[in-house]
Amino acid sequence: MASPFEAQGPRVLVVEDDPMMLELICTRLSLAGYRTMHARNGLEGLDQLRDMKFDGMILDINMPRLDGFGVLRQMRILGNRTPTMVLTARNQGADVQQAIQLGARDFLSKPFEDQKLLARVARLTRPAPAQRPAPAAQAPSRLI
């Protein structure tokens, strides 16, 4: 049986401590063509980020050992720029603001609709537009 990372879609790390929610998210993303890996707490998530490059990460806030805010802080210290969406039941304005200030690109509250999750993950994992090189300076044409 092939591992999830032998597939061809974008790589997404799901960091979630609730086993049912973790299975739901990973299954939904896998069915949509994403290659998913998972971690059950913040420390496991950081280990995965050190070991592998991901196109995006879905991160819970309330987790044992290291919460999502701690993961975002450590990512900043380590210079890890994996695009991250916080997915949590905590949806107070201060939580959203803190997550964004710490580097999260998006914030989605639980419960969520599948289509909204998939749309947000698609946007999160979309490659940044390539920078076009500046046009070369042309020498003035000679008049003969």
Residue 88 sits at the vertex; the CA angle it makes with 12 and 101, to the nearest 5 degrees, is 80
pLDDT of the residue at 127: 79
The CA dihedral of 140, 141, 142, 144, to the nearest 10 degrees, is -150
Residue 132 sits at the vertex; the CA angle it makes with 127 and 136, to the nearest 5 degrees, is 165
Query: What element of type H or E holds 87?
Result: strand 84-88
pLDDT of the residue at 92: 85
pLDDT of the residue at 8: 79
What is the third-level CATH fold of 8-125? Answer: Rossmann fold (3.40.50)
Please tell me what DSSP assigns to residue 79. T
pLDDT of the residue at 129: 67
pLDDT, averaged per 10 consecutive residues of the chain (144 residues), comes to 60 97 97 97 97 97 94 96 92 89 94 94 85 50 52
pLDDT of the residue at 100: 94
Q: How far apart are CA 49 and CA 138, in angstroms?
A: 45
